[in-house]
């Protein structure tokens, strides 16, 4: 999407990482941090999309939103919802969406580890979970949001045959994705070879990796049929 981003200066403290507490469900914390995203149980989609309909695609950890905006432009009749745990990013990208009057994109400041109760079961065509915060140290791996609980929620909200797209430039995270998919057994999946393209525009991170010749891995997981 062609946007003059000079109209939307990025915050000076726009960092990739954020506080570790945000990667744990609120119920597991002894005290709620003041910067913790609000819990969401229900949503009125008329307040989020021009047509008042629910989203068809979720971009979990949408970051600065390049992919989200590109997809929204290419499929104007479909609604796209970005979920981002960093409020400073959500505020900035929300300003872009509002300033450009983009009717089929909306954002939530939210931590996906608290579930997706506000999303109807079997309503989402595709979930994007691309280049998440890696937490590479062993003692920090429990902070990874891609766990059985979140993956079960992804499975619940996806339509039969719905897709989950994964990517990471950190080998340990790629193997973690594979391990979780194997452990839960609810998806068929395949690794997309580096030489193959896939049906998504590049994210900001993917563009950077290509420019800097940094290798990355991609996976497409498909929700299994109930009778399979």
44 in catalytic set: no
> How far apart, in whole angstroms, are the C-alpha atoms of residue 206 and residue 214?
9
Beta bridge partners of 190: 220
Instruction: Give 137's contacts (C-beta < 8 A, 6+ positions apart).
Output: none
> How far apart, in whole angstroms, are the C-alpha atoms of residue 38 and residue 50?
24
Tell me 63's DSSP state.
Answer: T
- Give helix 66-74 / helix 204-211 axis angle, nearest 10°: 110
Strands 158-168 and 217-223: antiparallel
* From 4, 59, 91, 133, the catalytic residue: 133
Beta bridge partners of 165: 128, 220
Active site residues: 133
């Amino acid at each position: 999407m062609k946007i003059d981003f000079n109209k939307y200066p990025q915050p000076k403290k726009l960092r990739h990482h954020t506080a570790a507490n945000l990667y744990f469900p609120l119920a597991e914390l002894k005290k709620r941090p003041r910067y913790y995203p609000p819990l969401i149980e229900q949503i009125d989609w008329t307040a989020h999309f021009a047509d008042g309909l629910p989203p068809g695609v979720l971009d979990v950890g949408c970051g600065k939103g390049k992919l989200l905006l590109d997809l929204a432009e290419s499929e104007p009749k479909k609604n796209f919802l970005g979920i981002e745990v960093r409020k400073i990013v959500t505020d900035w990208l929300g300003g872009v969406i509002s300033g450009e009057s983009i009717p089929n994109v909306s954002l939530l400041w939210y931590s996906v580890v608290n579930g997706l109760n506000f999303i109807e079961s079997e309503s989402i065509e595709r979930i994007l979970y691309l280049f998440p915060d890696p937490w590479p140290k062993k003692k920090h791996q429990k902070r990874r949001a891609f766990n059985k609980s979140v993956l079960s929620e992804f499975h619940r909200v996806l339509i039969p045959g719905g897709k989950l797209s994964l990517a990471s430039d950190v080998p340990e995270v790629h193997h973690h994705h594979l391990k979780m998919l194997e452990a839960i057994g609810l998806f068929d999946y395949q690794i997309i070879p580096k030489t193959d393209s896939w049906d998504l525009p590049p994210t900001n991170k993917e563009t950077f990796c290509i420019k800097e010749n940094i290798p990355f891995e991609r996976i497409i997981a498909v929700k299994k049929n109930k009778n399979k």
